[in-house]
A and B are shown apart, each in its own frame.
Chain A
Amino acid sequence: MIRRRMTRWILLVIWLVSCGFAQAPARAEGPVYADVLPGHSLTFPADYGAHPDFRTEWWYVTGWLHTPDGPRGFQITFFRSRPDVDQNNPSAFSPKQIILAHVALSDPKLGKLIDDQRIARQGFGLANAATGDTAVVLDDWSLVRGADDVYTARAGTEAFGLNLHLRPTQALLIQGDRGYSSKGASAGEASYYYSAPHLSVAGTLRQGGRTVEVSGDAWLDHEWSSSFLAARSAGWDWTGLNLDDGGSLTAFQVRDAAGQPVWAGGSFRDASGATVVLRRDDVQFSTKRSWLSPRTGIHYPVVQTLTIKLPSGSRQFILTPLFDDQELDSRATGGPVYWEGAVKTDGGKGYLELVGYATAVKI
């Protein structure tokens, strides 16, 4: 199963990789995808880098920025996808790997998201997801992990630009069972998944012709897999919270068409570093307040109560958005419409993603 986060390209990517078998020409030789297996341990720095044998992979940075003009939410994402094309084509343009990237800025003063996206086939050094360590580039957008462990993220558009250094302050948070993160009931539905919470942000934000110094807290997810969500799932909710005491909370649920959870999971690491893997029954999302999008007429549960079961007992987090309208509508270009935005909770801040509230996201 795949992770909750989704943009229009991931939809495209999933199409790319999931279809086409039936029509593949007889002489064509499609790719053989690597499987996600339990009992396998992640090794670093190799697993910082790309895993081109897998069907899909992403590096997902979300966070809060402190600017002279108040708080902003931001999101920079790089996807790698391996479509089903003939592996025999010797052309350097052969789209054996596709790189996609998305950047979005949540500005409460604007009251809505501004974003941009790019997509390219890997090659010629113009678009690349390197193996060995994190180094993903797409033209002048990039996410690169330096020798000092600091990530540099660059992305922007005409309306705004981000140039950020993300310095880890804690150990990596390896999700699931040593990085094997189960996403569904069957054995194949899983991904390799680790997170880097509490990244300390320093850099610049360009907006409206002005460039300002910013700082903040961010969260990086790196996940790769060759499998997909179960067919009956209609959407998902995901959140990652940097808690003020140094703790980190990851929680997600997959919903069916009736809105009932069919799978859930996550992890809770407290300030001392003790980590609890959250199972299917340990995570519960419940709607506290919905927001009606005036553009799409969709109701999003933008204020949620997240309840997690820990060995020490249940804990509740009320997730409140930085502002309500953090909806992304990419239907004009064939993508989904979803909500992804900065949220805060009592004693923490993070990001929340709400997908599949219009119609079931077909995958």
Chain B
Amino acid sequence: MGERGSLPLVAMRWMIVSEWRTYPSRIAIAVLAIALGVALGFAVHLINGSALSEFDHAIQTVSGDADLQVHATSAAGFSEALYPQMAHVSGIAKVSPVVELHAQAQGHAALTILGLDVLSAAVVTPRLLGRRSDGQHDPSDFFSDSAIFLSAAAMQASGRRVGQSIDITSMGHSASFRIIGDLPGIPAGQAIGVMDIAAAQWRFGQLGKLQRLDFRLAPDADRAQLSSALASRLPLGAEIVTRHNEETRSDSLSRAYRVNLDMLALMALLTGGFLVYSAQSLSVARRRPQFALIRVLGLERRSLVAQIFLEALVVGAVGALGGLLLGLGLAAAALHLLGSDLGGGYFSGGVPHLSFAPGAAIAFGALGVAASLVGGLLPARDAARSQPALALKNLGDAIDPRVHPRIRLALLLVVLGAAGSLAPAVNGLPIFGYASMALLLAGGIAMMPWLARTLLWIFLRRPISNVSLSLAIQRLWGAPSQAALALSGIVASTSLMIAMAVMVVSFRGSVEAWLYQVLPADLYLALDDSGVGGGFDAVTQNNMRHVEGVAWMGFMKETPLRLAPDKPDVWLIARTVDGPAGGLPLLSPGLAVPPNDIPVWVSEPAAGIYGIHPGDHLVLPIAGVTPRVFVAGIWRDYGRQQGSIVIDSDTYTRLTGDARRSIASVALKKGALADAVIARLRAVLPAGVADHLSVSRSQEIRSKGIAAFDRSFAITYLLEAIPILVGLIGVAATVSAQTLARIKEFGMLRHIGVLRLQIVAMLIAEGALLGAIGGIAGIGLGLAMSQILIRVVNPQSFHWTMDTRIPWLLFIIVIVALIVAAGGTALFAGRRALSTAAVTAVREDW
């Protein structure tokens, strides 16, 4: 009994330790594959988590922990008469009225100005109060209309210090302020300036207007009841904001982007898992005689499975642990270099703090271990099931080459995948789209044995004179499961990468074409006041139109507009829509506008988010006026993911009385020199305005747009590169393992007169064939998956469409790289295998 009891232990040491000692690189690759997958998933998750907590932080900061808020739906604010009305609602302990403005300080530093009644804010939002730190103690400065408190980030951005003066521009007004202190309650990275509410109203032309009311509730107030009581008294142009819907809004802005990144990371983990599976399969297949031997020696089938299970567990655990550490490092580096949106442009501000997530660490670690276990257990079960007597003789491939592989399962998976792509988004996320991609991937891989067979059959039917090529094809034909394993590794990584590449290339191409459509004019003049609300007034616009050399001039202004409390603001774009450069990139011809209706053109994302269709009527909550408008068309807009609505410039002026515009587009007369026209345009601008003017040629804007696109996809490129890397490593590992396992076969070939060179050529041919077949299949599968990304995932996540573009050059490069990698590895491994003397090699075959 004692002997028997210790056998599993002995066997374990024998099998696992000696295997690892002999082939350390194979184990290393399996561990690396798991580690990379786990690292990617974990890093992306950490970065997303940090970004979100940063966002929550920002919300808390600006809202100053008020119990409840009423916000203006647009920057124009609401009437201050609302303030006393709200203060009288029972259940409200105190209301703090707030003027909240986007502003620009010296040095083009953007900041948020909060005009507070310090006496109410002390009760409602004490965190927003300034701290006097200029050495003076005159409390009346808290009420001064020329004093301001700046947060550390605002001081840093403007290069000003406490005690100095600062010029600030907002809503088209500029004023000079003395910095009398800092804002200790505002965390690093947030540029905020706090001043007296009366000063903010007066200095920035906001008399009679507020943008916000902050509430402190009575201790016994029912928040939900109070919210609805308040909501019923609010005019259009103001809405209740709670922490919850503020968070939902910030979440919805970037959620699709974050989920997509998470999915990419999971795909990398999946590829890693798959590579572990193929490595384990090969390892188990190769050791089948050994397993058979110890089974004959008395090891139970269960114990054998347990051994392999343990082996996979160790590989998975080591890989997962390494992956978590690597992921932590990757996340820290990425946050530092790219920011929390990984260049996506969703969050602004300083470098966020990395917040470690123990739950996620456990989850991703477990996924890594699970990938390894599944990868190890399936082949282990096969090995345990086989008849020891047969396996002991190592009769080669476990699958009978005469049986044609089945394709039914593969077809079923593909059909399910195709069906999944038709399903709608779940909760704004393309869950079924991703499921459909996973099913297609699984179906594609399952199809590999059949496909390899079918392709090889074509070769086999015609006589091949070349010995090496013939041998290679016969070998692939005769050992279908080994070929399929190598192929599936290649296909898995290639198809994922191709799918992403086709999507990105299509997106990039569509963006480039769109940039030509939306920038038809020659020159663009922007007042660099990022939403500060200044601009060219009506007189200046008229003067500019009559400048010599100007053939046509359009003006435009963008203002944020809130259509729903839990969704991000859309941009309301007041824009010249007629004239040579006034057209919009409409998706379908615009509808005829019914008489007396005000036409608007809704962007594709806005249409998707709010379910707007051409021909609909909308009510726009522009401050003071709430016009009913007619949706005349949907236009393509990649620039504003939260959506935008275009309204005719003159109509906007008529509705709001606001004729100021911040952007001008210029079509030049034939032969007019751009520089001369720019100089003449500058000359007609009022003093002070010209300083804020930036002039761009349309070509420059296009390059900037594409550069921004590339920056935001930088992380995607990285995420793409890693599966390829893992894939190529996997191909190399598979091919070299298979080659080394065939020493006896090479000895036999040498004995029957095949030259060493011919064997090497055979191995190269085998590798190249595998690479070529895998590459072609991977590209085909990748193309199918890219269509799901383009037609399902993107429209459902981001509400925009794009036109497919095929990166032919990339396809060629991928196939060549795969052939070279597989063939090259085969050559390398083959030379090592052939260095063993032929006689010894054959003798090994007892």
Contact B87 A95 (CB under 8 A): no
Residues of B within 8 A of A85 (CB): 140, 143-145, 198
Contact B219 A158 (CB under 8 A): yes
Residues of A within 8 A of B146 (CB): 25, 28
Residues of A within 8 A of B83 (CB): 124
The residue that B197 contacts in the complex, of A25, A93, A126, with Cβ under 8 A, is: A93
Which residues in chain B, 752-771, are within 8 Å of chain A measured between CB atoms?
A: none
Residues of A within 8 A of B97 (CB): 93
A74-113 to B contact mask, C-beta < 8 Å, 1/0: 0000000001111001111111001000000000000000
Interface check B202, CB cutoff 8 A:
yes
Which residue on A lies nearest to B206, using beta carbons? A91
Interface check B141, CB cutoff 8 A:
yes
Interface check B207, CB cutoff 8 A:
yes
Contact B207 A16 (CB under 8 A): no
A45-56 to B contact mask, C-beta < 8 Å, 1/0: 000000000000
Contact A83 B119 (CB under 8 A): no
Interface check A12, CB cutoff 8 A:
yes
Which residue on A lies nearest to B208, using beta carbons? A92
A120-152 to B contact mask, C-beta < 8 Å, 1/0: 110011100000000000010000000000000
The residue that B87 contacts in the complex, of A15, A91, A121, A126, with Cβ under 8 A, is: A126
Interface check B35, CB cutoff 8 A:
no
The residue that A125 contacts in the complex, of B84, B94, B144, with Cβ under 8 A, is: B84
Central interface residue in B139, B141, B202, by most chain A CB within 10 Å? B139
Contact B201 A93 (CB under 8 A): yes
How far in angstroms is the closest Cβ of chain B from A117? 11
Which residues in chain A, 15-54, are within 8 Å of chain B measured between CB atoms?
A: 15-17, 19-20, 23, 25, 28
The residue that B143 contacts in the complex, of A16, A23, A92, A125, with Cβ under 8 A, is: A16
A98 to B83, CA, bound (A): 18
The residue that A95 contacts in the complex, of B136, B196, B207, with Cβ under 8 A, is: B196
A55 to B179, CA, bound (A): 28
Residues of B within 8 A of A262 (CB): none
Which residues in chain B, 476-514, are within 8 Å of chain A measured between CB atoms?
A: none
Given A25-B146, A86-B145, A119-B119, are A91 and B202 also a contact pair (CB < 8 Å)?
Answer: yes
Contact A91 B198 (CB under 8 A): yes
The residue that B80 contacts in the complex, of A17, A92, A94, A121, with Cβ under 8 A, is: A92
Which residue on A lies nearest to B219, using beta carbons? A158
The residue that B202 contacts in the complex, of A16, A25, A90, A125, with Cβ under 8 A, is: A90
The residue that A83 contacts in the complex, of B84, B136, B140, B219, with Cβ under 8 A, is: B140
Residues of A within 8 A of B117 (CB): 93, 120-121
Interface check B199, CB cutoff 8 A:
yes
Contact B143 A95 (CB under 8 A): yes
A95 to B209, CA, bound (A): 16
Contact B201 A91 (CB under 8 A): yes
The residue that B198 contacts in the complex, of A16, A28, A93, A119, with Cβ under 8 A, is: A93
The residue that B140 contacts in the complex, of A20, A120, A158, with Cβ under 8 A, is: A20
Contact B140 A89 (CB under 8 A): no
Contact B140 A94 (CB under 8 A): no
Contact B140 A19 (CB under 8 A): yes
Interface check B844, CB cutoff 8 A:
no
A17 to B138, CA, bound (A): 10
Interface check B120, CB cutoff 8 A:
yes
Given A95-B198, A121-B119, A125-B84, are A19 and B143 also a contact pair (CB < 8 Å)?
Answer: no
Contact A23 B145 (CB under 8 A): no
Residues of B within 8 A of A91 (CB): 197-199, 201-202, 207
Residues of B within 8 A of A12 (CB): 139
How far in angstroms is the closest Cβ of chain B from A54? 17
Given A85-B143, A95-B198, A158-B219, are A15 and B138 also a contact pair (CB < 8 Å)?
Answer: yes
How far in angstroms is the closest Cβ of chain B from A228? 15
A95 to B117, CA, bound (A): 9
Contact B202 A89 (CB under 8 A): yes
A158 to B143, CA, bound (A): 29
Contact A16 B140 (CB under 8 A): yes
How far in angstroms is the closest Cβ of chain B from A31? 12
A124 to B83, CA, bound (A): 8
Residues of A within 8 A of B94 (CB): 139
Which residues in chain B, 657-684, are within 8 Å of chain A measured between CB atoms?
A: none
Residues of A within 8 A of B208 (CB): 92
The residue that B138 contacts in the complex, of A20, A90, A158, with Cβ under 8 A, is: A20
Which residues in chain A, 222-269, are within 8 Å of chain B measured between CB atoms?
A: none
How far in angstroms is the closest Cβ of chain B from A129? 15
Which residue on A lies nearest to B139, using beta carbons? A15
Contact B84 A89 (CB under 8 A): no
Given A15-B138, A16-B139, A28-B145, are A89 and B198 also a contact pair (CB < 8 Å)?
Answer: yes
Given A83-B140, A95-B143, are A89 and B199 also a contact pair (CB < 8 Å)?
Answer: yes
A124 to B139, CA, bound (A): 23
How far in angstroms is the closest Cβ of chain B from A160? 15
A23 to B134, CA, bound (A): 13
A89 to B197, CA, bound (A): 11
Given A28-B145, A124-B83, A124-B84, are A19 and B138 also a contact pair (CB < 8 Å)?
Answer: yes
Contact A90 B207 (CB under 8 A): yes
Contact B198 A20 (CB under 8 A): no
A240 to B138, CA, bound (A): 33
Residues of B within 8 A of A23 (CB): 136, 138, 141, 144
A17 to B139, CA, bound (A): 9
Which residue on B lies nearest to A158, using beta carbons? B219
A12 to B120, CA, bound (A): 16
How far in angstroms is the closest Cβ of chain A from B100? 14
Contact B145 A89 (CB under 8 A): yes
Contact B119 A120 (CB under 8 A): yes
Residues of B within 8 A of A83 (CB): 140, 143
Which residue on A lies nearest to B143, using beta carbons? A95
A19 to B140, CA, bound (A): 7
Residues of B within 8 A of A94 (CB): 198, 202
A155-183 to B contact mask, C-beta < 8 Å, 1/0: 00010000000000000000000000000
A327 to B208, CA, bound (A): 43
B176-215 to A contact mask, C-beta < 8 Å, 1/0: 0000000000000000000011110110000110000000
A126 to B141, CA, bound (A): 23
Residues of A within 8 A of B201 (CB): 91, 93
A90 to B97, CA, bound (A): 17
How far in angstroms is the closest Cβ of chain A from B271? 61
A263 to B610, CA, bound (A): 75
How far in angstroms is the closest Cβ of chain A from B836? 87
Residues of A within 8 A of B80 (CB): 92-93, 124
How far in angstroms is the closest Cβ of chain B from A126? 5
Residues of A within 8 A of B196 (CB): 93, 95
Contact B207 A84 (CB under 8 A): no
B220-257 to A contact mask, C-beta < 8 Å, 1/0: 00000000000000000000000000000000000000
A307 to B34, CA, bound (A): 94
How far in angstroms is the closest Cβ of chain B from A150? 25
Residues of B within 8 A of A139 (CB): 87, 94
Residues of A within 8 A of B139 (CB): 12, 15-16, 19
B133-159 to A contact mask, C-beta < 8 Å, 1/0: 000101111011110000000000000
How far in angstroms is the closest Cβ of chain B from A128? 11
Contact B138 A120 (CB under 8 A): no
Residues of B within 8 A of A119 (CB): 119
> 4 shortest A-B CB distances, which residue pairs?
A91-B198, A93-B198, A124-B84, A20-B140
A sample of 12 inter-chain contacts (CB < 8 A) reads: A15-B138, A20-B138, A23-B141, A83-B140, A90-B202, A93-B196, A93-B201, A95-B196, A119-B119, A124-B83, A125-B84, A158-B219
Q: Besides A91-B201, A92-B80, 6 other CB < 8 A contacts? A: A15-B140, A84-B140, A85-B145, A89-B145, A91-B197, A91-B207
| A→B interface (CB under 8 Å) | 12, 15-17, 19-20, 23, 25, 28, 83-86, 89-95, 98, 119-121, 124-126, 139, 158
